[in-house]
Structure 1
C-alpha cells in the first residue's frame, strides 16, 4: 500500500536462526515475470483508491490488516519456538507517516504473539489514528525508547531483530526530520536481521536505489497489498506479500498474478 499522507501517514546471529530462515519457501525459478507483477507508483495509488473509495475500506481498517499481516510474516521467518529469549526481542522503528502506523500495529500483534517488542517512534504524528495506536501499545506495556543508541553494538546485543517502518513509498528521509534520518543511518550498520515493511526505507518506490546513502538492505521484505516496482531489486532472504484482503476483482483488474495464500494465511512467500 502507499497509504501516504502527511500526518496520516544481514546475517543472523545464530545457526539455528539462519536454518529457520532458510526453511521458508523460495520463489520457483520457473515462474514468469507476469506471475510476480510489480506495481508502479501510479498503479499502487490507483489500487489504494479502489479499496478506499469503491470498496469502502477504512484507513484504520487497512492499517490494521497490513500491520497484522506484517507481524504474521515475522512469525513465518522467526517462529517463536525456535528462538532463544534474546532472539524474541524485536525493535520496531516507526516514522510519522502511514508506514509508522502499520509498524505500531505490527508491534501490538507481535506482543499478542508473545514476542517482546520495543518501539522507537522519535517523530510522533498528531494524527488521531497514530495517537490511538500509540495508546494501544502503551496500554499493552510495550516500551518506547526515548532515544536510539548510536553505538550499533548496543542494539545488536539487546535485540534479536529490527522492523523498519520508518518510510513508505514516496516519502523521502528529508521530509520527516533529523531523528528518523539518524535512525536510518544506524539501521544500515546493524548485523541483526532487518525486516522492512512495504519498501525498504530510503528506497525509491520505482527504481529501488538501495545503494543510496539512506537506503537499507533488509533480510526480509513484506510488500503490503502488492509488491511495488522497486521490489524487483530486493535481494534479501525472504519476500512476502501481505494482500489477502485485496478482493479478487481488484486483483484481476491490476493483473496481480501472485502466489496463492495457503489455508488461512494472510501472507504468501514470493
Structure 2
C-alpha cells in the first residue's frame, strides 16, 4: 500500500498525540530527531566536498527549530553552515537550540531589514536548507520573508526543504505560485497532501513514529539499517 499523505488537521493530530501523555515524546526529542533527519538528507544528496557551505534559513516556529538542530548536525558532519533567521523564535527551546549552534561556532547572520545581507550570503553558499515555514503556514507570505523567498528562488542554488517547501499550502501545494521550488524535500513523520505532485527527490524522516500510530494507516516504508531517512518514489511512479 502507498504511504498516506496527511491533511493539516491530521498532521496536527498526530503531532499532538506524539507529545501527549500517551505518546510521551517531548518537543525537544522530536526536534532533535527531525533535525538529524534533515541534516542526513542534505548530506546524502549534497556531499560536503562539493557543497560545503550550507545556508540554513530558519523561521520563528518549530520548523526553524528543526533547522537549528540540522545546522548543528551539519557542522558535526564537516559542513560549514551559516544560519539566517531574520525573525528569531521567542520560545525558550528556540533560544537553547540557538545557543547550541553558537557553542559550535556556527555563524548566525544579524537580523536586517534590507536584503543586502541575504544577497551576500547567498553568493557565498553552495546549498540551502529551507526551514522557514511548516505545515501550519497559510498564505500570504509576510515580511520579512516576502522579499526573501524570491531572492532564495532566484539564487540558482539547490534547495532542500523541510516537511513542506516554504510558501506552499499544506494541502493545496504551491497554488499561489509564491513558494520555493526545491530539488529535495524531507517530509517529517509522513508526507503532506500539498506535496503529492512534488517531482524532486523526496525523503521521509520519521523513524521515531511508534507502532501505536498504526491506527492512522500511515503505511510508512521501512528504514534500512541505521538510516534516519528513507527515499520515497518520485511523483507519478506510485499510486497515491
TM-score, normalised by the number of residues in structure 1: 0.79
* RMSD over aligned Cα atoms: 1.9
Give the superposition deviation at 1:233.
2.0
Task: Look up the match of 2:14.
Answer: 47
Kindly tell me: are residues 174 and 150 of structure 1, through their superposed partners in 2, closer, same or farther at Cα, counting changes over 3 Å? farther
Given that 1:225 and 1:241 are in contact with CA atoms closer than 8 Å, whether structure 2 keeps it comes out as yes
Matched residue count: 229
CA distance in 2, matches of 1:41, 1:172: 11
Q: Which has the higher contact order (CA 8 A, sep 6+)?
A: 1
2:39 corresponds, among 68, 71, 76, to 71
Matches within 5 A, 1:125-144: 125-144=89-108
CA distance in 2, matches of 1:173, 1:110: 30
List per-residue Cα deviations over 1:75-116 (Å, max 9, x = no partner). Answer: 111133xx23xx200000101011011111110110011100
Matched, 1:190 2:143: no
Task: Look up the match of 1:19.
Answer: none
Give the superposition deviation at 1:180.
2.3
CA distance in 2, matches of 1:222, 1:241: 5
TM-score, normalised by the number of residues in structure 2: 0.89
CA distance in 2, matches of 1:188, 1:38: 26
Give the superposition deviation at 1:194.
0.3
2:30 corresponds, among 55, 62, 70, to 62
Uncovered stretches (5+) of structure 2, i.e. residues with no partner: 233-240
Task: Look up the match of 1:7.
Answer: none
Give the superposition deviation at 1:155.
4.7
Matches within 5 A, 1:78-227: 78-80=46-48, 83-84=49-50, 87-146=51-110, 147=112, 149-150=115-116, 154-172=120-138, 174=140, 177-208=142-173, 210=174, 212-227=176-191
CA distance in 1, matches of 2:159, 2:80: 16
List per-residue Cα deviations over 1:205-261 (Å, max 9, x = no partner). Answer: 0110x252421110000001110111202122x1000000101221x2111223210
Uncovered stretches (5+) of structure 1, i.e. residues with no partner: 1-33
1:246 corresponds, among 190, 200, 209, to 209
Query: 3-state DSSP class of the match of 2:154?
Result: coil
Bigger fraction of residues in helix: 1
Query: 3-state DSSP class of the match of 2:83?
Result: strand
Query: 3-state DSSP class of the match of 1:235?
Result: coil
CA distance in 1, matches of 2:169, 2:159: 18
CA distance in 2, matches of 1:190, 1:211: 22
CA distance in 1, matches of 2:122, 2:88: 25
Give the superposition deviation at 1:48.
1.1
